[in-house]
Structure 1
Amino acid sequence: MTRKIGFGLLWLGFIVYAFFLAPPDRPDTFELIKNLSIGQWQGINPLVIALFYIMGIWPVIYSALALFDGRGQKIRAWPFASASFAVGAFALLPYLALRQPNPQFQGQKNAVLKLLDSRVTGVGLTIATAILVAYGLQGNWSDFAQQWQTSRFIHVMSLDFALLCLLFPALLTDDMARRDWKNPALFWLITLIPLFGPLIYLSVRPSLPERELDTLSSQQQTVTN
Protein backbone atom coordinates (compact mmCIF):
# COMPACT_ATOMS: atom_id res chain seq x y z
CA MET A 1 0.00 0.00 0.00
CA THR A 2 2.88 2.37 0.78
CA ARG A 3 4.24 1.81 -2.73
CA LYS A 4 0.84 2.57 -4.29
CA ILE A 5 0.45 5.75 -2.26
CA GLY A 6 4.00 6.84 -3.09
CA PHE A 7 3.57 6.43 -6.85
CA GLY A 8 0.12 8.05 -6.68
CA LEU A 9 1.43 11.09 -4.84
CA LEU A 10 4.38 11.36 -7.21
CA TRP A 11 1.97 11.29 -10.18
CA LEU A 12 -0.25 13.99 -8.68
CA GLY A 13 2.76 16.08 -7.71
CA PHE A 14 4.21 15.87 -11.22
CA ILE A 15 0.89 16.96 -12.73
CA VAL A 16 0.56 19.90 -10.34
CA TYR A 17 4.12 21.01 -10.98
CA ALA A 18 3.88 20.64 -14.77
CA PHE A 19 0.68 22.64 -15.12
CA PHE A 20 0.95 25.19 -12.31
CA LEU A 21 4.58 25.64 -11.25
CA ALA A 22 6.66 25.03 -14.38
CA PRO A 23 7.56 27.99 -16.65
CA PRO A 24 4.77 29.10 -18.99
CA ASP A 25 4.49 27.86 -22.55
CA ARG A 26 6.24 29.91 -25.19
CA PRO A 27 4.27 31.07 -28.24
CA ASP A 28 6.46 28.99 -30.55
CA THR A 29 6.00 25.69 -28.66
CA PHE A 30 3.58 24.12 -31.13
CA GLU A 31 5.80 25.13 -34.07
CA LEU A 32 8.82 23.65 -32.29
CA ILE A 33 7.07 20.33 -31.67
CA LYS A 34 5.89 20.20 -35.29
CA ASN A 35 9.36 20.87 -36.67
CA LEU A 36 10.93 18.29 -34.37
CA SER A 37 8.36 15.72 -35.45
CA ILE A 38 8.81 16.21 -39.19
CA GLY A 39 12.59 16.58 -39.14
CA GLN A 40 12.85 20.30 -39.89
CA TRP A 41 15.67 20.91 -37.44
CA GLN A 42 17.15 24.13 -38.80
CA GLY A 43 17.83 26.53 -35.95
CA ILE A 44 16.93 24.02 -33.22
CA ASN A 45 19.49 23.26 -30.53
CA PRO A 46 20.82 19.68 -31.02
CA LEU A 47 20.32 19.09 -27.29
CA VAL A 48 16.60 19.67 -27.70
CA ILE A 49 16.47 17.42 -30.77
CA ALA A 50 18.32 14.60 -29.00
CA LEU A 51 16.16 14.85 -25.87
CA PHE A 52 12.95 14.87 -27.92
CA TYR A 53 13.83 11.65 -29.75
CA ILE A 54 15.25 9.94 -26.68
CA MET A 55 11.86 10.53 -25.08
CA GLY A 56 10.52 8.34 -27.88
CA ILE A 57 12.98 5.58 -26.99
CA TRP A 58 12.09 5.51 -23.29
CA PRO A 59 8.55 4.16 -23.90
CA VAL A 60 10.00 1.26 -25.90
CA ILE A 61 12.36 0.49 -23.01
CA TYR A 62 9.49 0.48 -20.54
CA SER A 63 7.26 -1.52 -22.87
CA ALA A 64 9.95 -4.21 -22.99
CA LEU A 65 9.29 -4.76 -19.27
CA ALA A 66 5.73 -3.57 -18.69
CA LEU A 67 4.05 -5.66 -21.39
CA PHE A 68 5.50 -8.83 -19.87
CA ASP A 69 4.59 -7.64 -16.39
CA GLY A 70 1.04 -6.90 -17.47
CA ARG A 71 0.30 -10.54 -18.30
CA GLY A 72 -0.23 -11.33 -14.63
CA GLN A 73 -1.96 -8.11 -13.59
CA LYS A 74 -5.62 -7.28 -13.10
CA ILE A 75 -5.05 -4.18 -15.23
CA ARG A 76 -3.71 -4.15 -18.78
CA ALA A 77 -0.26 -2.67 -19.25
CA TRP A 78 -0.52 -1.82 -22.94
CA PRO A 79 -2.80 1.27 -22.62
CA PHE A 80 -0.34 2.87 -20.19
CA ALA A 81 2.67 1.85 -22.29
CA SER A 82 1.02 3.19 -25.46
CA ALA A 83 0.10 6.49 -23.81
CA SER A 84 3.67 6.90 -22.58
CA PHE A 85 4.78 7.55 -26.17
CA ALA A 86 2.84 10.81 -25.92
CA VAL A 87 3.10 11.80 -22.26
CA GLY A 88 5.94 9.73 -20.78
CA ALA A 89 5.89 9.24 -17.01
CA PHE A 90 2.44 10.84 -16.77
CA ALA A 91 1.07 7.60 -18.26
CA LEU A 92 3.43 5.13 -16.59
CA LEU A 93 3.06 6.32 -13.00
CA PRO A 94 -0.59 5.22 -12.68
CA TYR A 95 0.37 1.73 -13.87
CA LEU A 96 3.20 1.55 -11.35
CA ALA A 97 0.77 2.58 -8.64
CA LEU A 98 -1.91 0.04 -9.60
CA ARG A 99 0.23 -3.02 -10.46
CA GLN A 100 1.04 -5.87 -8.10
CA PRO A 101 4.41 -7.65 -7.75
CA ASN A 102 4.59 -10.18 -10.57
CA PRO A 103 7.75 -12.32 -10.80
CA GLN A 104 6.21 -14.82 -13.27
CA PHE A 105 5.19 -14.74 -16.91
CA GLN A 106 2.03 -16.54 -17.96
CA GLY A 107 1.40 -18.02 -21.39
CA GLN A 108 3.14 -17.61 -24.73
CA LYS A 109 4.86 -14.62 -26.30
CA ASN A 110 3.10 -13.00 -29.24
CA ALA A 111 4.95 -11.27 -32.08
CA VAL A 112 5.23 -7.95 -30.20
CA LEU A 113 6.59 -9.60 -27.06
CA LYS A 114 9.06 -11.65 -29.07
CA LEU A 115 10.35 -8.47 -30.70
CA LEU A 116 10.65 -6.68 -27.36
CA ASP A 117 12.31 -9.73 -25.80
CA SER A 118 14.96 -9.93 -28.51
CA ARG A 119 18.47 -8.81 -27.66
CA VAL A 120 18.67 -7.40 -31.19
CA THR A 121 16.02 -4.85 -30.20
CA GLY A 122 18.06 -3.85 -27.16
CA VAL A 123 21.23 -3.48 -29.20
CA GLY A 124 19.41 -1.46 -31.87
CA LEU A 125 17.95 0.90 -29.25
CA THR A 126 21.38 1.28 -27.66
CA ILE A 127 23.02 2.22 -30.96
CA ALA A 128 20.25 4.69 -31.81
CA THR A 129 20.50 6.28 -28.36
CA ALA A 130 24.30 6.54 -28.55
CA ILE A 131 23.98 8.36 -31.90
CA LEU A 132 21.40 10.75 -30.44
CA VAL A 133 23.50 11.46 -27.37
CA ALA A 134 26.62 12.08 -29.47
CA TYR A 135 24.63 14.46 -31.67
CA GLY A 136 23.09 16.23 -28.69
CA LEU A 137 26.45 16.84 -27.04
CA GLN A 138 27.27 19.15 -29.95
CA GLY A 139 24.51 21.48 -28.77
CA ASN A 140 24.62 24.78 -26.94
CA TRP A 141 24.30 24.14 -23.20
CA SER A 142 23.77 27.80 -22.32
CA ASP A 143 20.91 28.05 -24.78
CA PHE A 144 19.40 24.83 -23.42
CA ALA A 145 19.60 26.15 -19.86
CA GLN A 146 17.86 29.34 -20.95
CA GLN A 147 15.11 27.37 -22.69
CA TRP A 148 14.75 25.12 -19.64
CA GLN A 149 14.00 28.22 -17.58
CA THR A 150 11.56 29.81 -20.02
CA SER A 151 9.80 26.96 -21.88
CA ARG A 152 7.32 24.61 -20.20
CA PHE A 153 7.78 22.07 -22.99
CA ILE A 154 11.57 21.85 -22.54
CA HIS A 155 11.33 22.09 -18.76
CA VAL A 156 8.75 19.32 -18.29
CA MET A 157 10.32 17.08 -20.95
CA SER A 158 13.64 17.30 -19.10
CA LEU A 159 12.01 16.42 -15.77
CA ASP A 160 10.11 13.60 -17.49
CA PHE A 161 13.43 12.20 -18.72
CA ALA A 162 14.90 12.32 -15.21
CA LEU A 163 11.82 10.69 -13.72
CA LEU A 164 11.90 7.84 -16.24
CA CYS A 165 15.53 7.20 -15.29
CA LEU A 166 14.58 7.00 -11.61
CA LEU A 167 11.45 4.83 -12.04
CA PHE A 168 13.04 1.99 -14.02
CA PRO A 169 13.94 -0.15 -10.95
CA ALA A 170 10.23 -0.38 -10.12
CA LEU A 171 9.83 -2.89 -12.97
CA LEU A 172 13.38 -4.23 -13.11
CA THR A 173 13.22 -6.45 -10.01
CA ASP A 174 10.29 -8.53 -11.25
CA ASP A 175 11.63 -8.69 -14.81
CA MET A 176 14.89 -10.17 -13.56
CA ALA A 177 12.96 -12.64 -11.39
CA ARG A 178 10.84 -13.76 -14.37
CA ARG A 179 14.08 -14.63 -16.14
CA ASP A 180 15.57 -16.43 -13.13
CA TRP A 181 18.39 -13.90 -13.19
CA LYS A 182 19.46 -13.18 -9.61
CA ASN A 183 22.34 -10.74 -9.72
CA PRO A 184 22.18 -7.88 -7.17
CA ALA A 185 25.39 -6.30 -8.48
CA LEU A 186 23.96 -6.14 -12.00
CA PHE A 187 20.69 -4.72 -10.66
CA TRP A 188 22.51 -1.80 -9.05
CA LEU A 189 24.74 -1.28 -12.08
CA ILE A 190 21.67 -0.99 -14.31
CA THR A 191 19.92 1.24 -11.81
CA LEU A 192 22.80 3.64 -11.27
CA ILE A 193 23.63 4.23 -14.96
CA PRO A 194 20.96 6.60 -16.35
CA LEU A 195 19.44 5.60 -19.69
CA PHE A 196 22.28 3.34 -20.84
CA GLY A 197 21.89 1.03 -17.85
CA PRO A 198 18.38 -0.03 -18.94
CA LEU A 199 19.54 -0.25 -22.56
CA ILE A 200 22.44 -2.54 -21.62
CA TYR A 201 19.98 -4.68 -19.66
CA LEU A 202 17.73 -5.10 -22.71
CA SER A 203 20.81 -6.04 -24.75
CA VAL A 204 22.11 -8.78 -22.42
CA ARG A 205 19.14 -10.15 -20.43
CA PRO A 206 18.26 -13.83 -20.97
CA SER A 207 15.27 -14.63 -23.14
CA LEU A 208 12.09 -15.07 -21.14
CA PRO A 209 10.96 -18.73 -20.99
CA GLU A 210 7.39 -19.39 -22.09
CA ARG A 211 5.09 -21.34 -19.79
CA GLU A 212 1.77 -22.89 -20.64
CA LEU A 213 -1.02 -21.73 -18.35
CA ASP A 214 -1.94 -25.27 -17.29
CA THR A 215 1.70 -26.02 -16.44
CA LEU A 216 1.92 -22.84 -14.40
CA SER A 217 -1.31 -23.71 -12.53
CA SER A 218 -0.05 -27.20 -11.68
CA GLN A 219 3.20 -25.72 -10.36
CA GLN A 220 1.29 -23.31 -8.17
CA GLN A 221 -0.90 -26.12 -6.83
CA THR A 222 2.21 -28.18 -6.02
CA VAL A 223 3.69 -25.26 -4.07
CA THR A 224 0.40 -24.74 -2.23
CA ASN A 225 0.14 -28.40 -1.26
Structure 2
Amino acid sequence: MKYLLVWIALVCYSFFFAPGEEKDLVLQSLFNGNWANVDPFVLMIFSFLGLFPMIFLFILYQENSTRLPKWPFAFGAFFLGAFSLLPYFFLKDRFSEKHSGKQTVWPRNTLLLTLLLLLFFLILVSGIGGSLSRYQEAFMQSKLVSVMTIDFLVLVWLSADRLLTRKASFCITPYLSFIPVVGPIVVLLSTKKDVK
Protein backbone atom coordinates (compact mmCIF):
# COMPACT_ATOMS: atom_id res chain seq x y z
CA MET A 1 0.00 0.00 0.00
CA LYS A 2 2.88 2.39 0.75
CA TYR A 3 4.03 2.19 -2.88
CA LEU A 4 0.58 3.14 -4.13
CA LEU A 5 0.37 6.09 -1.73
CA VAL A 6 3.81 7.37 -2.75
CA TRP A 7 2.86 6.97 -6.44
CA ILE A 8 -0.36 8.97 -5.94
CA ALA A 9 1.56 11.69 -4.07
CA LEU A 10 4.19 11.81 -6.84
CA VAL A 11 1.58 12.13 -9.58
CA CYS A 12 -0.36 14.81 -7.66
CA TYR A 13 2.82 16.79 -7.02
CA SER A 14 3.88 16.58 -10.67
CA PHE A 15 0.56 17.76 -12.08
CA PHE A 16 -0.73 20.15 -9.43
CA PHE A 17 2.01 21.36 -7.07
CA ALA A 18 5.36 21.35 -8.88
CA PRO A 19 6.64 24.93 -9.30
CA GLY A 20 7.81 26.19 -12.65
CA GLU A 21 7.33 28.97 -15.15
CA GLU A 22 5.29 28.56 -18.32
CA LYS A 23 8.42 28.78 -20.46
CA ASP A 24 10.76 26.06 -19.19
CA LEU A 25 14.22 27.30 -20.15
CA VAL A 26 16.00 24.29 -18.63
CA LEU A 27 13.88 21.88 -20.67
CA GLN A 28 14.55 23.87 -23.84
CA SER A 29 18.30 23.98 -23.16
CA LEU A 30 18.50 20.23 -22.53
CA PHE A 31 16.61 19.24 -25.65
CA ASN A 32 18.39 21.81 -27.84
CA GLY A 33 21.78 20.56 -26.66
CA ASN A 34 22.68 23.88 -24.98
CA TRP A 35 23.99 22.14 -21.88
CA ALA A 36 26.31 25.05 -21.06
CA ASN A 37 23.22 27.05 -20.06
CA VAL A 38 22.21 24.43 -17.45
CA ASP A 39 23.70 24.33 -13.95
CA PRO A 40 26.06 21.34 -13.52
CA PHE A 41 24.13 20.06 -10.50
CA VAL A 42 20.98 19.92 -12.63
CA LEU A 43 22.89 17.96 -15.26
CA MET A 44 24.23 15.60 -12.59
CA ILE A 45 20.76 14.78 -11.18
CA PHE A 46 19.47 14.43 -14.74
CA SER A 47 22.29 11.95 -15.45
CA PHE A 48 21.61 10.04 -12.22
CA LEU A 49 18.03 9.51 -13.38
CA GLY A 50 19.50 7.63 -16.33
CA LEU A 51 21.53 5.39 -14.01
CA PHE A 52 18.77 4.52 -11.56
CA PRO A 53 16.78 2.38 -14.06
CA MET A 54 19.91 0.27 -14.62
CA ILE A 55 20.28 -0.17 -10.86
CA PHE A 56 16.66 -1.25 -10.63
CA LEU A 57 17.23 -3.84 -13.35
CA PHE A 58 19.57 -5.57 -10.90
CA ILE A 59 17.17 -5.10 -7.99
CA LEU A 60 14.19 -6.46 -9.94
CA TYR A 61 15.95 -9.49 -11.34
CA GLN A 62 17.51 -10.45 -8.03
CA GLU A 63 14.09 -10.64 -6.41
CA ASN A 64 11.91 -13.73 -6.55
CA SER A 65 9.82 -13.97 -9.69
CA THR A 66 6.08 -13.48 -9.75
CA ARG A 67 3.54 -13.94 -12.49
CA LEU A 68 3.62 -10.19 -12.98
CA PRO A 69 6.12 -9.47 -15.80
CA LYS A 70 9.00 -7.23 -14.78
CA TRP A 71 10.25 -6.00 -18.13
CA PRO A 72 7.51 -3.40 -18.92
CA PHE A 73 8.12 -1.64 -15.59
CA ALA A 74 11.91 -1.91 -15.89
CA PHE A 75 11.83 -0.56 -19.45
CA GLY A 76 9.38 2.19 -18.47
CA ALA A 77 11.73 3.35 -15.71
CA PHE A 78 14.16 4.65 -18.35
CA PHE A 79 11.51 7.19 -19.36
CA LEU A 80 9.30 7.57 -16.28
CA GLY A 81 11.54 6.71 -13.33
CA ALA A 82 9.63 6.05 -10.13
CA PHE A 83 6.33 6.62 -11.95
CA SER A 84 6.91 3.25 -13.63
CA LEU A 85 8.53 1.32 -10.76
CA LEU A 86 6.14 2.10 -7.90
CA PRO A 87 3.15 0.36 -9.58
CA TYR A 88 5.24 -2.80 -10.03
CA PHE A 89 6.16 -3.04 -6.35
CA PHE A 90 2.56 -2.35 -5.39
CA LEU A 91 1.21 -5.06 -7.72
CA LYS A 92 3.89 -7.76 -7.31
CA ASP A 93 2.69 -8.89 -3.87
CA ARG A 94 -0.75 -9.45 -5.34
CA PHE A 95 0.52 -12.04 -7.80
CA SER A 96 1.56 -15.52 -6.74
CA GLU A 97 5.22 -16.44 -6.98
CA LYS A 98 6.50 -18.66 -9.72
CA HIS A 99 9.60 -20.79 -9.65
CA SER A 100 11.54 -20.72 -12.89
CA GLY A 101 14.24 -23.14 -11.80
CA LYS A 102 17.94 -22.42 -12.06
CA GLN A 103 18.73 -18.91 -13.19
CA THR A 104 21.19 -18.07 -15.92
CA VAL A 105 24.58 -16.95 -14.67
CA TRP A 106 25.58 -13.56 -16.07
CA PRO A 107 28.44 -11.12 -15.39
CA ARG A 108 26.53 -9.22 -12.73
CA ASN A 109 29.48 -7.86 -10.77
CA THR A 110 31.31 -6.76 -13.91
CA LEU A 111 28.26 -4.80 -15.04
CA LEU A 112 27.81 -3.25 -11.60
CA LEU A 113 31.46 -2.19 -11.46
CA THR A 114 31.12 -0.67 -14.92
CA LEU A 115 28.07 1.21 -13.70
CA LEU A 116 30.03 2.44 -10.68
CA LEU A 117 32.82 3.75 -12.90
CA LEU A 118 30.27 5.47 -15.12
CA LEU A 119 28.77 7.07 -12.02
CA PHE A 120 32.10 8.54 -10.90
CA PHE A 121 32.74 9.79 -14.44
CA LEU A 122 29.36 11.57 -14.47
CA ILE A 123 30.06 13.14 -11.08
CA LEU A 124 33.40 14.47 -12.33
CA VAL A 125 32.00 15.73 -15.61
CA SER A 126 28.62 17.04 -14.46
CA GLY A 127 29.09 17.93 -10.81
CA ILE A 128 32.07 20.30 -11.01
CA GLY A 129 31.09 23.95 -10.86
CA GLY A 130 27.55 23.37 -9.66
CA SER A 131 25.79 25.78 -7.35
CA LEU A 132 23.11 24.87 -4.82
CA SER A 133 21.62 28.36 -5.07
CA ARG A 134 21.37 28.10 -8.86
CA TYR A 135 19.85 24.64 -8.48
CA GLN A 136 17.26 26.07 -6.11
CA GLU A 137 16.45 28.78 -8.64
CA ALA A 138 16.10 26.17 -11.38
CA PHE A 139 13.85 24.11 -9.07
CA MET A 140 11.46 27.04 -8.67
CA GLN A 141 11.59 28.14 -12.32
CA SER A 142 11.54 24.81 -14.14
CA LYS A 143 8.85 22.19 -13.74
CA LEU A 144 11.24 19.64 -15.23
CA VAL A 145 13.80 20.28 -12.49
CA SER A 146 11.22 20.25 -9.70
CA VAL A 147 9.64 16.98 -10.88
CA MET A 148 12.93 15.24 -11.62
CA THR A 149 14.27 16.25 -8.20
CA ILE A 150 11.31 14.69 -6.39
CA ASP A 151 11.49 11.66 -8.69
CA PHE A 152 15.18 11.31 -7.78
CA LEU A 153 14.41 11.46 -4.04
CA VAL A 154 11.68 8.84 -4.43
CA LEU A 155 14.10 6.58 -6.32
CA VAL A 156 16.66 6.96 -3.52
CA TRP A 157 14.02 5.93 -0.99
CA LEU A 158 12.68 3.12 -3.18
CA SER A 159 16.10 1.57 -3.81
CA ALA A 160 16.91 1.70 -0.10
CA ASP A 161 13.51 0.26 0.77
CA ARG A 162 14.12 -2.74 -1.50
CA LEU A 163 17.70 -3.31 -0.34
CA LEU A 164 17.38 -2.91 3.44
CA THR A 165 16.31 -6.55 3.77
CA ARG A 166 19.40 -7.81 1.97
CA LYS A 167 22.10 -9.69 3.82
CA ALA A 168 25.24 -7.98 2.66
CA SER A 169 28.76 -9.36 3.01
CA PHE A 170 32.25 -7.88 3.41
CA CYS A 171 31.09 -5.72 6.36
CA ILE A 172 28.77 -3.77 4.06
CA THR A 173 25.57 -2.57 5.70
CA PRO A 174 22.36 -2.35 3.63
CA TYR A 175 21.87 1.16 5.09
CA LEU A 176 24.49 2.34 2.61
CA SER A 177 21.71 2.11 0.03
CA PHE A 178 20.44 5.48 1.32
CA ILE A 179 23.50 7.08 -0.29
CA PRO A 180 22.17 8.17 -3.70
CA VAL A 181 23.13 5.92 -6.63
CA VAL A 182 26.52 4.74 -5.34
CA GLY A 183 25.04 3.15 -2.18
CA PRO A 184 22.68 0.74 -3.98
CA ILE A 185 25.49 -0.34 -6.32
CA VAL A 186 27.81 -1.15 -3.39
CA VAL A 187 25.06 -3.08 -1.59
CA LEU A 188 24.19 -5.02 -4.76
CA LEU A 189 27.85 -5.92 -5.21
CA SER A 190 27.92 -7.38 -1.72
CA THR A 191 24.72 -9.48 -2.03
CA LYS A 192 24.22 -12.66 -4.01
CA LYS A 193 21.00 -14.46 -3.16
CA ASP A 194 17.53 -13.69 -4.47
CA VAL A 195 15.11 -12.11 -2.02
CA LYS A 196 11.37 -11.60 -1.88
- Please indicate the TM-score interval, normalised by the length of the shorter structure: 0.7 to 0.9
1:84-143 alpha-carbon deviations (Å, 9 max, x no partner): 100100111101111129999733445xx725xx11111111111122223314212221
* 1:46 corresponds to which of 40, 46, 67: 40
* 2:83 corresponds to which of 69, 86, 90: 90
Give secondary structure in 1 for the equivalent of 2:35: coil
1:158-211 alpha-carbon deviations (Å, 9 max, x no partner): 11111111111333256x4xxxx466x7444323323221011233333x58xx
Cα distance between partner residues in 2 of 1:97 and 1:161: 19
Match of 1:216 in 2: none
The yes-or-no answer on 1:132 pairing with 2:122 is: yes
Cα distance between partner residues in 1 of 2:184 and 2:146: 23
1:103 to 1:65, Cα distance in 2 relative to 1, 3 A: farther
| Identity rate, percent | 25
Match of 1:31 in 2: 28
Cα distance between partner residues in 2 of 1:186 and 1:105: 29
* 1:200 corresponds to which of 186, 189, 193: 186
User: Size of the alignment, in residue pairs?
Assistant: 190
Match of 1:221 in 2: none
1:140-160 alpha-carbon deviations (Å, 9 max, x no partner): 222111001111100111111
- For the 8 Å contact 2:20–2:140, the answer to whether it is kept is no
Amino acid at match of 1:152: K
- For the 8 Å contact 1:66–1:171, the answer to whether it is kept is no
Q: Scaled by the length of structure 1, what TM-score is found?
A: 0.73
Amino acid at match of 2:106: K
* 2:135 corresponds to which of 107, 130, 144: 144
Cα distance between partner residues in 2 of 1:154 and 1:95: 25
Quote the offset at 1:31 in angstroms: 2.2
Quote the offset at 1:7 in angstroms: 1.2
Which stretch of structure 1 is more off in the superposition, 127-136 or 5-14?
127-136
Cα distance between partner residues in 1 of 2:21 and 2:91: 31
Cα distance between partner residues in 2 of 1:33 and 1:173: 35
Which stretch of structure 1 is more off in the superposition, 25-34 or 58-67?
25-34
Structure 2 unaligned blocks of 5 or more? none
Match of 1:11 in 2: 7
Amino acid at match of 2:110: V
- For the 8 Å contact 2:48–2:181, the answer to whether it is kept is no
Match of 1:217 in 2: none
Match of 1:213 in 2: none
Structure 1 unaligned blocks of 5 or more? 210-225
Give secondary structure in 1 for the equivalent of 2:36: coil
* 2:67 corresponds to which of 74, 79, 93: 74
Amino acid at match of 2:114: G
The yes-or-no answer on 1:122 pairing with 2:112 is: yes
1:42-98 alpha-carbon deviations (Å, 9 max, x no partner): 3222112111111000000011111343x6212111111110100100111101111
- Root-mean-square deviation over aligned CA pairs: 2.8
Match of 1:156 in 2: 147
The yes-or-no answer on 1:189 pairing with 2:172 is: no
Match of 1:61 in 2: 55
